[in-house]
Structure formats: structure tokens, C-alpha cells
Amino acid sequence: MAFVLRVIINGVAIWVTTLVLRPRFDVVLADPSTTWKRVVAFLVIGLVFGLVNAIVKPIVRLLSLPLYILTLGLFTLVVNALMLLLTGWLTRFTHWGLHIESFGIAVVAALIISVLSFILSVIIGRRDRRHHA
């Protein structure tokens, strides 16, 4: 259940980021005629982003540990941007995809997505605690 919740949070964060950074950061669909197709596309992109973060990010984090230490953790933004670019590259092989104009846009998008994901996780986490207490 936690992974499904993480996918939904990623999808919502990516959706809000596309609203802020469009057209430089957007989800491209072959047939964007229905809202349902856009929602599914955002959820699938959230799933791909979650899998990239779960599989690739720990390896990159380990390999770039000296840069994390040297930049006092600010290198996290670069790694998150690279994970977004990888997600965009992976989704281009389908009829829909995450379009990112440049690395700079990816850094800004990574910052927005990180903040939104944190806020949504805190909000949902508080609700879960209230229902279980």
C-alpha cells in the first residue's frame, strides 16, 4: 500500500510541476483528448519515476557520495534532476512521455517535485496517524 501511495504522490507532484513549468516540462500524449488518459499517464510516469528512484538512485548516490559531502547535500538536486531526465528518456519509447526541455528545467522541476512530495507525504502521514491512534 505504501508503494501505491508513493506512486500517487509522485504523479500528483509531477502534475503540479507541469502546471508550473509548462511547456518546458510537460507530459506529452499521442491522444490527450480525455482527462482519464492524462490521469493514467501521470500515474504511470509516477510509477516509472518511483522505480527509477528505487533502483537507480541508490547506486548513483553511492557512486557520488564524495560530491554529496563536498556540496553538503546540494548535489541531491542534481541527482534528482538526473532521475527525472532518465524517467523522461524511458517514457519516450511509448505513445506518451515526460518532456523536459533542458537540464536546468530538470533541476527546477526536481526541486518543485521534492518539496511537493514532502508536503504531500506529511499531510497523508498525519491523516494515517490520526486514523490509527
Angle between helix 35-63 and helix 2-21 axes, rounded to 10 deg: 100
pLDDT attached to residue 31: 78
For the chain, what percentages of helix, strand and coil (3-state, to nearest 5) are there? 75, 10, 15
User: Residue 126: its pLDDT value, please?
Assistant: 60
Question: Number of folded domains in the chain?
Answer: 1
pLDDT of residue 46: 96
Residue range of the domain that includes 116? 2-132
Helix (H) or strand (E) holding 83: helix 75-91
pLDDT of the residue at 127: 53
Instruction: Pick the closest to residue 91 from 125, 56, 43 (CA basis).
Output: 43
What's the predicted TM-score (pTM) here?
0.88
Among 53, 24, 48, 52, CA closest to 96: 48
Residue 33 Cα to chain centre, angstroms = 24
Mean pLDDT of 86-105: 93
Q: Is the pLDDT of residue 130 over 90?
A: no
